[in-house]
C-alpha cells in the first residue's frame, strides 16, 4: 500500500525519467530486503483482492446461468423468480425447484462457496452451530437433503468448510466478507484521518505562533473526550452503520497524525530550500505541498500501517461489544462474540482469532518493512 | 627524544561498502608524525583526509568500513589490532580529537563543567573537587575569560569560538601525546579562526604534543604545520616540509591547490551607474518580551539604522563577524523579513509592500544562500529546481521553452545540460552552488543577494565560484550585495565595502580605501585575520 502511494507522489513528469526516482528505487530495494515484510505484502494483497471479489467467491447465486438459450449473470443482476416460473420478487437459486427448472433448460456455474454472509443453510446435519462439513461422514452430512447421499446438492460447493455459526450461516463466507469490510473500514478511516490530520498538522507547523498554540489547546481538549461513550450515546440516536461509525471514529482518529506532521513542518520550515522557494516568490500553499509535505510524508507513511491496524481493531472491538455494524452484517468482531457465547463450537472462536491475528500481523510486518524502507540511515546492508 | 615516530601510518587503506561493492576511500597511504611535530593533511572534500584521521582511532562506521591493508603504529603498538577496550584506553587519553562542528560535538544538555570533568573522572578517576580545579585550569589555558562564571553554562550560551575552546580543553584534559584536529576552524569566523590557531600552536609547544591537522585551507597550513601531506582521490600525492612544498611544489595537484586562492579584482566601478537598491536608515529590531503579559522590555538591534546603495553592475561587500547583522541586513533589503526605514528598488519604494505585492518583483530580486547542501530540495531534480521560479514568473512559457532556458542557464554557470534530470545529492558542493546560482539567474534578476555563497566550499572551488559570479555580473550588469566574513573573497569581488559590527556600520567606503587604509582597529583586525591569520589585541573582536 505504501509503495504505491510513494510512486504516485513522485511521478509528476512522465517520460522524462524512470518511474521511480533514485531515492524511491533505493527505498523499494530496502523494502524488498525485508523478506518478511515483502512476502506479507504479497500475501495481504492476494487476500485483499480475493476478498474484494467476495461476491464471486462466496455467494448464494450462480455466477452464470444459461436458461432457454439466454445467458444470465445472477451475481450482477437480480432476476425476479417469474423468469424461471416462480413467484418471488428475488430468485432463490438454492431452491431445488428453481435449480431443476434451470438444469432442465440449460446450465449454471456456481461460485466455489455457495453461501454469502447471510445465507442460512437449512440442510445442516445438527442444530446450529454445525461443525465443519469435513468432520462428518457422507451419510451424516447429507441426511437433511431429500435424496440423502445421492442428492445433487450434497456436494463440495455446499460444504461449510469452517462450520456454521449459531444462525446456521457459513463461517467461511462470513470471514471473507468480514475481512473485506474490516480492511475497507480501516483503509478509509486511515485515508480520511490522514488527510485531516496531515492538513491540520501542516497548517499548525507552517504558520506556528498563535495558530499553533490555539490549535494545540483545542486538540488537547478534543482528545480528552471518551470515544467509546460518545459512540454509545450516538448509537442510541442514530442507527450505527458503516458510514456513521466511520464518521464518529474519524472525528477523533485524525489527532494522532497532527503531532508528527506538525513537528516535521516546524523543523522543515526553516530549511534553506524553503527560504529559497520563498525568495523565488512561491506561494505558501505550493511551498507546503511541494517542499514540506514530502518531508512529513516519510513520518506519516511510517505511521500509517499502525493507524490502519488500530482502526481495524477498534471496529472489531465495537462489533464484539455489539455496538458496531448493524445486526446481520459480516463482521469479525461478531464472530468472536459468537465464539465466546458458544464455547461448545470452538471453530467459531478459532476462526475469528486466526483471521484477525493473521490480518493484523501481515499489516504490522508490511509496516515494519515500510519503516525500514524510509529509514535514511539504512544505507548499508 | 628518540627518532622513532610517535605515530606511523603504513600502507593504510580504507574501503566502504556501497551497493554490495567495496569502494576505496583511502588508497594505501603512509605517513609519520614525530614527537612534537605538526603534520597537516591537505586536500579538497572527498579526498579521504578525514577518513584517514578517523581510522587512527577506529572511529569509522564498522563493519560498513573496513581496512583491506595497513598498520597504524602508535608508539610501536598497532592500533588496528586493538579491540574496543584497548582502544578506549587510547581514545581521549593518549590520542584525542577535535571535530569540525563545535555546535554538535558538545552535548547540549550538559554544562561545560560536567562535560570536561567527565573525561577526567573517566580516565584519571578524579573526585569532584580536584576535577573542578583542573577544569578551571584547563579553561584558563584555552583562554576562556572568567572561567568560574562559565562552569555552569550550557553550550548554546557560548559563541562558536568559545565552544571550540571548550572542545580543545576537553581534548587536552588528559594531556594527550597526539591531538587530531579535523578542520577545527572551518565553521568559525576568520577572526576567531586566527585566535584558535594561535591557541593550538601555543598549547602544542606547552604540552609537547604532536598534532595531526586536517584542513582544505593552505593559508592555515603555511601558518601552523611543520610538514604537509597533500591528498587527492584517497592518495597522498606529495609530502614534505611545509616550506619546500610551498616554494617548490612538485605535483600538479599541489600547484593547482596553491594557485586556487580567490584572486583578481572587481571591474572598476562606474560612479554614474544607475542605483538599483537603496536602503536608508534600515532597522531590524527583534523585541525581547518578558512577564506574563509579554510586555516588550527591550529590543535586539540586529540592524540599527544602516544606509546602503548598490549600483547596477557593481558589488557592495558586507563584512563583519558572525552576529554583526550582515545577513539580517541582506534579508531586510530583499524584503524577506520586515524592517523599518525606506528601501528603494529601481525607484520604487518597496518597504511597504506585502508578500503578495512583492511577488512580481521577486524575479528581479534574487538570493543565493550560504549552504548549497541545504538550499536545494533533495527531492527535486535539477531541472525541476531551476524551473520552479520560471513557472511563477514566466507562466506563458511552454515546457519546451522552459527546458531550453534551463539548458542555456546551466551552460552559463558551467554545468553539463545533460545533468539536469539528476538529483542534488549526485553533485559536489561547488556544483550545487552553481545550481543555486543558476536558479537565481534564470529569472533575469537585477539585484542578487549573495549570502556567504563561498564559505561552505573548498578553497579551490571558492575561486571558481568567485570567477563565475564576476563573469555573470559583467554579462548581465547585475547588482550584487555580497555578504561574507572572509575578506579575501570580498576583495576579489566588491567595489564598495560596508564593515558591520553589532548592527551598526563601522566603516563604509570604496573597497580599495578600506583595504589599503583601514580606519578602525576592528577593520584592521578583520584584514589581519583574513590575509595573514593574525590575531588582534584583546577586546577588538569578539571571542
- Taking 90 as the threshold, does the pLDDT of residue A356 lie above it? yes
B351 and B451 in one domain?
A: yes
> Which of A14, A268, A274, A281 to probe by mutation at the B interface, max B CB count within 10 Å?
A281
> Which of B66, B375, B425, B455 to probe by mutation at the A interface, max A CB count within 10 Å?
B375
pLDDT in tens, A262-275: 988 888 888 888 88
pLDDT in tens, A238-248: 877 888 889 88
What confidence category does residue B228 fall into, taking pLDDT thresholds of 50, 70 and 90?
very high
Please state the domain extents for chain A. 2-53+172-374, 61-110, 122-159
* pLDDT average, residue stretch B333-350: 86
pLDDT of residue B285: 86
B336/A278 touch (CB, cutoff 8 Å), yes or no: yes
pLDDT in tens, B436-458: 999 999 988 999 999 888 887 88
pLDDT of residue A176: 93
Closest B-chain CA to A30: B19
- Which of B375, B392, B421 is opposite residue A282, by nearest beta carbon? B392
Q: Which residues from B are below 8 Å from A301, CB to CB?
A: none
- Which of A275, A277, A294 is opposite residue B388, by nearest beta carbon? A277
B449 and B439 in one domain?
A: no
Single out the residue of B155, B165, B152 nearest to residue B106, CA to CA: B155
**Average pLDDT of the residues of chain B:** 85
The total number of residues shown for chain A amounts to: 381
Phi, psi (rounded to 5 degrees) for A79: -95, 135
Closest A-chain CA to B331: A279
The total number of residues shown for chain B amounts to: 543
Closest B-chain CA to A24: B379
A282/B393 touch (CB, cutoff 8 Å), yes or no: no
Cβ–Cβ under 8 Å, residues A303 and A260? yes
**Residue B24 lies inside a defined structural domain of this protein:** no
How far off is chain A from B436, nearest CA to CA, in Å? 9
pLDDT in tens, A173-216: 999 999 999 999 999 999 999 999 999 999 999 888 888 999 99
Phi, psi (rounded to 5 degrees) for B447: -130, 130
pLDDT of residue A18: 59
**Residue B110 lies inside a defined structural domain of this protein:** yes
pLDDT of residue A312: 92
B411 and B289 in one domain?
A: no
- Taking 60 as the threshold, does the pLDDT of residue A378 lie above it? no
pLDDT of residue B108: 82
- Taking 70 as the threshold, does the pLDDT of residue A379 lie above it? no
Share of chain A above pLDDT 90, in %: 22
- Which of B64, B359, B371 is opposite residue A281, by nearest beta carbon? B359
Q: Which residues from B are below 8 Å from A16, CB to CB?
A: 421
What confidence category does residue B19 fall into, taking pLDDT thresholds of 50, 70 and 90?
low
B377/A13 touch (CB, cutoff 8 Å), yes or no: no
Q: Which residues from B are below 8 Å from A291, CB to CB?
A: 377
- For B27, left (φ over 0), alpha (ψ -120 to 50), or beta? beta
> Which of B289, B374, B377 to probe by mutation at the A interface, max A CB count within 10 Å?
B377
> Which of A32, A209, A210, A272 to probe by mutation at the B interface, max B CB count within 10 Å?
A272
- Which of B64, B374, B381 is opposite residue A380, by nearest beta carbon? B64
pTM of the predicted protein model = 0.74
- Cα–Cα distances (Å) from A269 to A278, A293, A296, A325, B337, in that order, read 10, 10, 11, 43, 15
- Taking 50 as the threshold, does the pLDDT of residue A304 lie above it? yes
- Taking 50 as the threshold, does the pLDDT of residue A8 lie above it? no
How far off is chain A from B359, nearest CA to CA, in Å? 5
CA gap B306, A122 in Å, rounded: 93
- Dihedral sign for Cα atoms in the order B32, B37, B43, B46: positive
B452 and B417 in one domain?
A: no
pLDDT of residue A275: 84
B422 and B520 in one domain?
A: no
**Average pLDDT of the residues of chain A:** 84
Lookup: cell for B226: 611543520
Lookup: cell for B274: 544607475
Closest B-chain CA to A294: B379
B374/A273 touch (CB, cutoff 8 Å), yes or no: yes
ipTM of this model?
A: 0.71
pLDDT of residue A49: 94
- Taking 80 as the threshold, does the pLDDT of residue B263 lie above it? no
B299 and B344 in one domain?
A: yes
Q: Looking only at Cα atoms, what is the longest distance across chain B?
A: 77
**Residue B45 lies inside a defined structural domain of this protein:** no
What confidence category does residue A11 fall into, taking pLDDT thresholds of 50, 70 and 90?
very low
- Taking 50 as the threshold, does the pLDDT of residue A369 lie above it? yes
CA gap B503, B512 in Å, rounded: 23
- Which of A279, A282, A290 is opposite residue B334, by nearest beta carbon? A279
What confidence category does residue A17 fall into, taking pLDDT thresholds of 50, 70 and 90?
low
pLDDT of residue A355: 93
Cβ–Cβ under 8 Å, residues A118 and A170? no
Q: Is A164 helix (H, G, I), strand (E, B) or coil?
A: strand
CA gap B504, B323 in Å, rounded: 11
B509 and B404 in one domain?
A: no
- Taking 60 as the threshold, does the pLDDT of residue A296 lie above it? yes
A281/B379 touch (CB, cutoff 8 Å), yes or no: no
- Taking 70 as the threshold, does the pLDDT of residue B282 lie above it? yes
CATH superfamily for domain A2-53+172-374: MetI-like (1.10.3720.10)
B279 and B133 in one domain?
A: no
pLDDT in tens, B284-321: 888 877 777 777 777 788 888 889 889 888 899 999 88
pLDDT of residue A84: 83
- Give the number of A-B residue pairs with CB atoms closer than 8 Å: 70
Cβ–Cβ under 8 Å, residues B439 and A277? no
pLDDT in tens, A107-128: 888 898 888 888 888 888 888 7
- Taking 70 as the threshold, does the pLDDT of residue A15 lie above it? no
Answer with the residue of higher pLDDT: A9 or A335: A335
- With cell 588496528, the residue in question is B80
Q: Which residues on chain A place their C-beta less than 8 Å from a C-beta of chain B?
A: 10, 13, 16-17, 21-23, 271-273, 275-283, 290-291, 294, 379-380
**Residue B55 lies inside a defined structural domain of this protein:** no
Q: Please state the separation of Cα B34 from the chain's center in Å.
A: 30
Q: Which residues from A are below 8 Å from B363, CB to CB?
A: 281
A276/B336 touch (CB, cutoff 8 Å), yes or no: no
A380/B17 touch (CB, cutoff 8 Å), yes or no: yes
C-beta neighbour count of A108 within 10 angstroms: 18
Helix axes A293-321, A171-207, angle to 10 degrees: 140
Phi, psi (rounded to 5 degrees) for B72: -120, 105
CA gap B488, B467 in Å, rounded: 13
pLDDT in tens, B88-139: 888 878 888 888 776 677 888 888 888 888 888 888 888 888 889 989 988 8
Domain range for residue B428? 372-443
B392/A281 touch (CB, cutoff 8 Å), yes or no: yes
Cβ–Cβ under 8 Å, residues A63 and A82? no
* pLDDT average, residue stretch B370-381: 82
Across chain A, where does the E strand assignment appear? 64-67, 70-72, 106-109
B477 and B379 in one domain?
A: no
B426 and B487 in one domain?
A: no
- Taking 50 as the threshold, does the pLDDT of residue B44 lie above it? yes
Q: Which residues from A are below 8 Å from B376, CB to CB?
A: 273, 276
Q: Which residues on chain B place their C-beta less than 8 Å from a C-beta of chain A?
A: 17-18, 61, 64, 334, 336, 358-360, 362-363, 365-367, 369-371, 374-381, 384, 388-389, 392-393, 421, 423, 436, 439, 443
CA gap A225, A214 in Å, rounded: 18
What confidence category does residue B539 fall into, taking pLDDT thresholds of 50, 70 and 90?
low
How far off is chain B from A166, nearest CA to CA, in Å? 56
Q: Number of structural domains, chain B?
A: 3
Residue B314 parent element (H or E) = none
Angle at A266 between CA A261 and CA A268, to 5 degrees: 90
Lookup: cell for A158: 455446499
Q: Which residues from B are below 8 Å from A17, CB to CB?
A: 381, 421
- Taking 60 as the threshold, does the pLDDT of residue B1 lie above it? no
B376/A273 touch (CB, cutoff 8 Å), yes or no: yes
Phi, psi (rounded to 5 degrees) for B327: -65, -40
C-beta neighbour count of A53 within 10 angstroms: 13
- With cell 556600520, the residue in question is B505
> Which of B388, B409, B429 to probe by mutation at the A interface, max A CB count within 10 Å?
B388
Give strand pairing partners of B239. Answer: B229
Preceding omega of B63 cis (within 30 degrees of 0):
yes
Cβ–Cβ under 8 Å, residues B177 and B169? no
Q: Looking only at Cα atoms, what is the longest distance across chain A?
A: 85
Sorted by sequence, the CB contacts under 8 Å of residue A252 that are 6+ apart come out as: A222, A223, A225, A227
How far off is chain A from B374, nearest CA to CA, in Å? 5
pLDDT of residue A72: 86
How far off is chain A from B367, nearest CA to CA, in Å? 7
How far off is chain A from B144, nearest CA to CA, in Å? 32
CA gap A72, A64 in Å, rounded: 6
How far off is chain B from A195, nearest CA to CA, in Å? 21
Q: Is B210 helix (H, G, I), strand (E, B) or coil?
A: strand
A276/B443 touch (CB, cutoff 8 Å), yes or no: no
How far off is chain B from A26, nearest CA to CA, in Å? 10
**Residue B143 lies inside a defined structural domain of this protein:** yes
**Residue B131 lies inside a defined structural domain of this protein:** yes
How far off is chain A from B208, nearest CA to CA, in Å? 40
- Taking 60 as the threshold, does the pLDDT of residue A6 lie above it? no
How far off is chain A from B183, nearest CA to CA, in Å? 24
A276/B392 touch (CB, cutoff 8 Å), yes or no: no
* pLDDT average, residue stretch A347-376: 88
Closest B-chain CA to A275: B375
B452 and B378 in one domain?
A: no
Amino acid at each position: 500500500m505504501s509503495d504505491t502511494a510513494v510512486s504516485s507522489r513522485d511521478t509528476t513528469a512522465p517520460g522524462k525519467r524512470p518511474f521511480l526516482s533514485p531515492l524511491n528505487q533505493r527505498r523499494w530495494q530496502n523494502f524488498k530486503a525485508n523478506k518478511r515484510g515483502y512476502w506479507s505484502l504479497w500475501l495481504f494483497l492476494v487476500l485483499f483482492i480475493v476478498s474484494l471479489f467476495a461476491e464471486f467467491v462466496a455467494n448464494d447465486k450462480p455466477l452464470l446461468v444459461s436458461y432457454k438459450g439466454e445467458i444470465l449473470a445472477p451475481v450482477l443482476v437480480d432476476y425476479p423468480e417469474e423468469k424461471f416460473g416462480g413467484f418471488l420478487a428475488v430468485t432463490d437459486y438454492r431452491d431445488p425447484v428453481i435449480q431443476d427448472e434451470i438444469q432442465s433448460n440449460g446450465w449454471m456455474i456456481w461460485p466455489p462457496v455457495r453461501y454469502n454472509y447471510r445465507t442460512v443453510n437449512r440442510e445442516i446435519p445438527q442444530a446450529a452451530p454445525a461443525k465443519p462439513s469435513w468432520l462428518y461422514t457422507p451419510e451424516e452430512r447429507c441426511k437433511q437433503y431429500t435424496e440423502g447421499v445421492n442428492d445433487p446438492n450434497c456436494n463440495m460447493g455446499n460444504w461449510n468448510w469452517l462450520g456454521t455459526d449459531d444462525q446456521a450461516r457459513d463461517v467461511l463466507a462470513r470471514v471473507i466478507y468480514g475481512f473485506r469490510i474490516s480492511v475497507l473500514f480501516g483503509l478509509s478511516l486511515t485515508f480520511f484521518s490522514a488527510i485531516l490530520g496531515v492538513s491540520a498538522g501542516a497548517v499548525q507547523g507552517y504558520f506556528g505562533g498563535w495558530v499553533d498554540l490555539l490549535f494545540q489547546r483545542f486538540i488537547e481538549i478534543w482528545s480528552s473526550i471518551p470515544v467509546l461513550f460518545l459512540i454509545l450515546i450516538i448509537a442510541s440516536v442514530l442507527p450505527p452503520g458503516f458510514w456513521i461509525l466511520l464518521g464518529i471514529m474519524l472525528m477523533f482518529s485524525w489527532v494522532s497524525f497532527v503531532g508528527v506532521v506538525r513537528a516535521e513542518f516546524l523543523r522543515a520550515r526553516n530549511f534553506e530550500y524553503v527560504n529559497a522557494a520563498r525568495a523565488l516568490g512561491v506561494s505558501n500553499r505550493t511551498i507546503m505541498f511541494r517542499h514540506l509535505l514530502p518531508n512529513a510524508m516519510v513520518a506519516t507513511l511510517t505511521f500509517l500501517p499502525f493507524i490502519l491496524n488500530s482502526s481495524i481493531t477498534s471496529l472489531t472491538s465495537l462489533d464484539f461489544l455489539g455496538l458496531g455494524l448493524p445486526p446481520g452484517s459480516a463482521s469479525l468482531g461478531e464472530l468472536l462474540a459468537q465464539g465466546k457465547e458458544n464455547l461448545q463450537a470452538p471453530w467459531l472462536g478459532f476462526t475469528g482469532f486466526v483471521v484477525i491475528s493473521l490480518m493484523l500481523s501481515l499489516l504490522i510486518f508490511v509496516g515494519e518493512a515500510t519503516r525500514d524502507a524510509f529509514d535514511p540511515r539504512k544505507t548499508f546492508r | 627524544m628518540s627518532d622513532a615516530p610517535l605515530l606511523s601510518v603504513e600502507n593504510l587503506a580504507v574501503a566502504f561498502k556501497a551497493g554490495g561493492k567495496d569502494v576505496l576511500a583511502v588508497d594505501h597511504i603512509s605517513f609519520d608524525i614525530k614527537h612534537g611535530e605538526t603534520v597537516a593533511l591537505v586536500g579538497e572534500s572527498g579526498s579521504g583526509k578525514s577518513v584517514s584521521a578517523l581510522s587512527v582511532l577506529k572511529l569509522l562506521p564498522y563493519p560498513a568500513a573496513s581496512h583491506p591493508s595497513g598498520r597504524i603504529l602508535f608508539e610501536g603498538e598497532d592500533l588496528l589490532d586493538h579491540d574496543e577496550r584497548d582502544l578506549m584506553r587510547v581514545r581521549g587519553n593518549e590520542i584525542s580529537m577535535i571535530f569540525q562542528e563545535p555546535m554538535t560535538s558538545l552535548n547540549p544538555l550538559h554544562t561545560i563543567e560536567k562535560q570536561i570533568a567527565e573525561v577526567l573522572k573517566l580516565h584519571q578517576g578524579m573526585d569532584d573537587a580536584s576535577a573542578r580545579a583542573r577544569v578551571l585550569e584547563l579553561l584558563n589555558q584555552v583562554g576562556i575569560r572568567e572561567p568560574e562564571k562559565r562552569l555552569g553554562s550550557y553550550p548554546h550560551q557560548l559563541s562558536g569560538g568559545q565552544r571550540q575552546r571548550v572542545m580543545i580543553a576537553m581534548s587536552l584534559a588528559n594531556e594527550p601525546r597526539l591531538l587530531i584536529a579535523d578542520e577545527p576552524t572551518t565553521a568559525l569566523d576568520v577572526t576567531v579562526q586566527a585566535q584558535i590557531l594561535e591557541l593550538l600552536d601555543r598549547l602544542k609547544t606547552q604540552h609537547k604534543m604532536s598534532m595531526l591537522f586536517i584542513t582544505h585551507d593552505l593559508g592555515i597550513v603555511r601558518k601552523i604545520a611543520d610538514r604537509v601531506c597533500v591528498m587527492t582521490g584517497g592518495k597522498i600525492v606529495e609530502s614534505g616540509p611545509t616550506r619546500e612544498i610551498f616554494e617548490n611544489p612538485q605535483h600538479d595537484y599541489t600547484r593547482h591547490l596553491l594557485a586556487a586562492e580567490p584572486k583578481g579584482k572587481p571591474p572598476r566601478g562606474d560612479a554614474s551607474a544607475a542605483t538599483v537598491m537603496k536602503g536608508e536608515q534600515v532597522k531590524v529590531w527583534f523585541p525581547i518580551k518578558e512577564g506574563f503579559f509579554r510586555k516588550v522590555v527591550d529590543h535586539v538591534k540586529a540592524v540599527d539604522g544602516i544606509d546602503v546603495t548598490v549600483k547596477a553592475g557593481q558589488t557592495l561587500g558586507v563584512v563583519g563577524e558572525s552576529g554583526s547583522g550582515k545577513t539580517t541586513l541582506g534579508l531586510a533589503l530583499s524584503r524577506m523579513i520586515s524592517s523599518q526605514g525606506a528601501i528603494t528598488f529601481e525607484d520604487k519604494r518597496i518597504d511597504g509592500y506585502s508578500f503578495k505585492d512583492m511577488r512580481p518583483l521577486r524575479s528581479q530580486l534574487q538570493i543565493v544562500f550560504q549552504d548549497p547542501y541545504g538550499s536545494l530540495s533533495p527531492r527535486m531534480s535539477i531541472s525541476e529546481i531551476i524551473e520552479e521560479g520560471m513557472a511563477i514568473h514566466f507562466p506563458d512559457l511552454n515546457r519546451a521553452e522552459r527546458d531550453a532556458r534551463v539548458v542555456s542557464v546551466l551552460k552559463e554557470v558551467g554545468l553539463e545540460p545533460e545533468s539536469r534530470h539528476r538529483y542534488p545529492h549526485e553533485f559536489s558542493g561547488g556544483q550545487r552552488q552553481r545550481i543555486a546560482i543558476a536558479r537565481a539567474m534564470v529569472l533575469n534578476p537585477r539585484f542578487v543577494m549573495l549570502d556567504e555563497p563561498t564559505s561552505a566550499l573548498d578553497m579551490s572551488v571558492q575561486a571558481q565560484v568567485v570567477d563565475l559570479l564576476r563573469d555573470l555580473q559583467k554579462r548581465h550588469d547585475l547588482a550584487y550585495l555580497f555578504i561574507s566574513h572572509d575578506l579575501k573573497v570580498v576583495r576579489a569581488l566588491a567595489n564598495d565595502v560596508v564593515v558591520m559590527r553589532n548592527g551598526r556600520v563601522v566603516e563604509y567606503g570604496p573597497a580599495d580605501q578600506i583595504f589599503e587604509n583601514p580606519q578602525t582597529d576592528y577593520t584592521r583586525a578583520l584584514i589581519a585575520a583574513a590575509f595573514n591569520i593574525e590575531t588582534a589585541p584583546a577586546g577588538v573582536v569578539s571571542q
